[in-house]
Structure 1
């Protein structure tokens, strides 16, 4: 964000759009640190002077003041255009009809200043027309009398120069990129031009390029599907809410944070390559797996397990639990004693934040499924001395070790076994 400075020709409205777009993509965005960065990045002028003299106390106040200055700047620009328009209306008719000087026209940036693109500008023009972000200009470069009359510029709808050679169009595409549009056409480092036949339009024999969506609409060449696609509104980009944690690291000023960043130790992490995973049989659910009765059922998934050679019913499958829980009544009915428990020092925390002291933990052999598709594995349970409608809660650790797939609609749980896919249906 420190490098996101306002350009010399950029309006405050466009800079605010660009700033907010970049800010949304920054994780752990520090609003307090953003205030001096934003103040330092805006162009000198009345707004910058106001920020220096009356520093905003909050980030929201900064954006609100920036929005008000942007509205005032836009209103002043429109007012000047109206005044210039009235001045031209009062000019003599002969002056209004006077031919333009060859020096008048759009001022174009040199080629080496333009962003490198992945597609020809003619292909990008088609996409920009569909988005409705193209502004057509009556001004064009002076065409040489010796230019090829077979060439055609679809942007100016004139002959004697090609669309891909049009500097006015290239300049407008550059401005759209600087405003945050057409980012998918910007060539990144190490990125080559796409070779797919459908990505780049190729000109055939000097004929006129194919018409865009808006041009086809004018000519009546759209099919019903294309007409429907153009009429449908394009989905807007949704706002993203990231996890907020931490605080200003390294200090409150930019110089303190830079000094802190330079002093950070960066270590190299080396790990062994991943082992090749064995091929698994795909697990699917069909209508044959649906439970009897009306749908939707809104039932919890409770299954049956074989623990310590005892059939235990009402085992709740809960992906929201970070531990496997066994209630003390079930623990005693399994014929286990407190001497077998291992001490657990950390209490459990419920959904509402209440702490629950544990009796200890124990690891037991558990069997699930029906013959021949049966799976046995070791599960660590945390024993708690409270009353509950279920005997056991099977949490994420056991479900992940089992490599299970759960379908709440079908009210069953499936898992891989050496003999095929095992099934545990709702009890």
Structure 2
């Protein structure tokens, strides 16, 4: 208690040993706030204002955004490693569509059972199958499953532009209008990119890019 820090106005250590004071000084020097006290240090913010940019260094500003680009590795036949390059994913230009705010829902297959109204929720960390959908699966499948997260063979798209993964879905009892909810974890596994305003979902396959159109209003 005989050691006092003037910076923190508290006991326990001396001012010259104060870690927080040292950190504050280093940040002040780094951002140029002490440039008027320390010779040879320039204020980087002031420098950016005073020094005009060369034409080559000026940032290039596009006139508009006409597509959403996403680069993801995709598998291709004939590759020993499975991943050979990148393929671009394009969505229609925004000035050619009427933007939508409706949820994006698609259809898919759980094993060989066609399932409609699969809700794609990019903000969800959960992947859910609702109980009323689970009850309609084949009895042989249901008897080997439990309400806990369980792997289900799920397919989206149609051959050759399809993708199949074993997805762990939690069985939930709820009066939801949807059969399944897929969150961002599944979208990462499926290499899927969703655009709500386009009402489209696109995903990478070994044959190229697959496209799914939302069936929400059907």
- TM value normalised by structure 2: 0.61
Q: Distance in 2 between matches of 1:365 and 1:276?
A: 21
Q: Secondary structure at the match of 1:281?
A: strand
TM-fit CA distance, 1:299: 0.5
Q: Distance in 1 between matches of 2:82 and 2:106?
A: 33
Q: 1:416 to 1:338 in 2, by over 3 A?
A: closer
Contact 1:405/1:414 (<8 A) preserved = yes
TM-fit CA distance, 1:175: 4.6
Q: What residue is the counterpart of 2:151 in the other structure? A: 363
1:384 to 172, 175, 189: 172
TM-fit CA distance, 1:326: 0.4
Q: What residue is the counterpart of 1:286 in the other structure? A: 92
Q: Distance in 2 between matches of 1:298 and 1:393?
A: 18
Q: 1:284 to 1:35 in 2, by over 3 A?
A: farther
Runs of 4+ in 1 over 6 A off after TM superposition: none
Q: Secondary structure at the match of 2:135?
A: helix
Q: Distance in 2 between matches of 1:361 and 1:401?
A: 16
TM-fit CA distance, 1:302: 0.8
Contact 1:305/1:367 (<8 A) preserved = yes
Q: Name which one, 1 or 2, has greater alpha-carbon Rg.
A: 1
1:394 aligns with 2:182: yes
1:174 to 14, 33, 38: 38
How many residues are paired up?
164
Q: Distance in 2 between matches of 1:372 and 1:340?
A: 30
Q: 1:338 to 1:366 in 2, by over 3 A?
A: closer
Aligned alpha-carbon RMSD (Å) = 4.0
1:313 aligns with 2:141: no
Q: Secondary structure at the match of 1:388?
A: coil
1:406 aligns with 2:209: no
Contact 1:340/1:362 (<8 A) preserved = no
Identify unmatched segments of 5+ residues in structure 1: 7-18, 20-33, 43-127, 134-170, 186-211, 215-224, 226-274, 343-358
Q: Distance in 2 between matches of 1:385 and 1:172?
A: 66
Q: What residue is the counterpart of 1:97 in the other structure? A: none
1:416 aligns with 2:211: no
Q: Secondary structure at the match of 1:329?
A: helix
Q: Distance in 2 between matches of 1:391 and 1:366?
A: 13
TM-fit CA distance, 1:176: 7.7
Q: 1:36 to 1:318 in 2, by over 3 A?
A: same
Deviations 1:330-372 (A, max 9, x none): 0111224653224xxxxxxxxxxxxxxxx32332211111332
Q: 1:36 to 1:397 in 2, by over 3 A?
A: same
Q: Distance in 2 between matches of 1:369 and 1:326?
A: 19
Deviations 1:167-214 (A, max 9, x none): xxxx9683583xx833899xxxxxxxxxxxxxxxxxxxxxxxxxx779
Contact 2:129/2:179 (<8 A) preserved = yes
Q: What residue is the counterpart of 2:143 in the other structure? A: 339
Q: Distance in 1 between matches of 2:15 and 2:129?
A: 59
Q: 1:300 to 1:35 in 2, by over 3 A?
A: farther
Deviations 1:292-324 (A, max 9, x none): xxx332101111111121221110001222221
Q: Distance in 2 between matches of 1:313 and 1:213?
A: 60
Contact 1:328/1:385 (<8 A) preserved = yes
Deviations 1:230-275 (A, max 9, x none): xxxxxxxxxxxxxxxxxxxxxxxxxxxxxxxxxxxxxxxxxxxxx9
Q: 1:367 to 1:213 in 2, by over 3 A?
A: closer
Q: Distance in 1 between matches of 2:83 and 2:107?
A: 30
Q: Secondary structure at the match of 1:330?
A: helix
Contact 1:327/1:392 (<8 A) preserved = yes
Identify unmatched segments of 5+ residues in structure 2: 17-31, 56-80
Higher strand share: 2
